Amino acid sequence: MRTAESAVETIQREMTVFARRARASAGRMHPELSLVSYTLLGHLEESGGCRATDLAAHYALDKSTVSRQVAALERAGLIERRPDPEDHRVQELRLTGAGQEILAQVTRRRRAAFRERLAEWPEDDLVRFAAYLERYNAGVEGIGPD
Partner DNA sequence: ACATTCCGGTTGCAGAGTACAACTCGCGAC
Partner DNA sequence: GTCGCGAGTTGTACTCTGCAACCGGAATGT
- Decide if residue 82 touches DNA (CB under 7 A): no
Q: Which of 47, 91, 96, 100 binds DNA (CB under 7 A)?
A: 91
11 binds its own copies (CB under 8 A): yes
H helix intervals, the chain: 2-29, 35-47, 52-59, 63-75, 97-117, 123-138
Which residue, 15 or 90, has its beta carbon nearer to DNA?
90
User: What distance separates the 2 farthest-apart alpha carbons in the chain?
Assistant: 60
- Minimal CA–CA distance to 32: which of 116, 101, 111, 117? 101
Q: For residue 92, what are the β-bridge partners?
A: 82
63 binds DNA (CB under 7 A): yes
**Residue 30 near DNA by CB under 7 A:** no
Q: Which one, 85 or 145, has the nearer CB to its own copies?
A: 145
What CA–CA distance (Å, rounded) separates 101 from 104? 5
Q: Which residues contact 27 (CB under 8 A, 6 or more apart)?
A: 34, 35
- Residue 21, interface with its own copies (CB under 8 A)? yes
Chain residues that interact with DNA, rule: CB under 7 A: 23-24, 27, 34, 36-37, 51-53, 60-65, 67-72, 81, 87-91
Q: Residues interacting with its own copies, by CB under 8 A? A: 1, 3-4, 6-26, 29, 35-36, 38-39, 42, 59-61, 110-111, 113-118, 121, 123, 125-130, 132-137, 139, 141-146
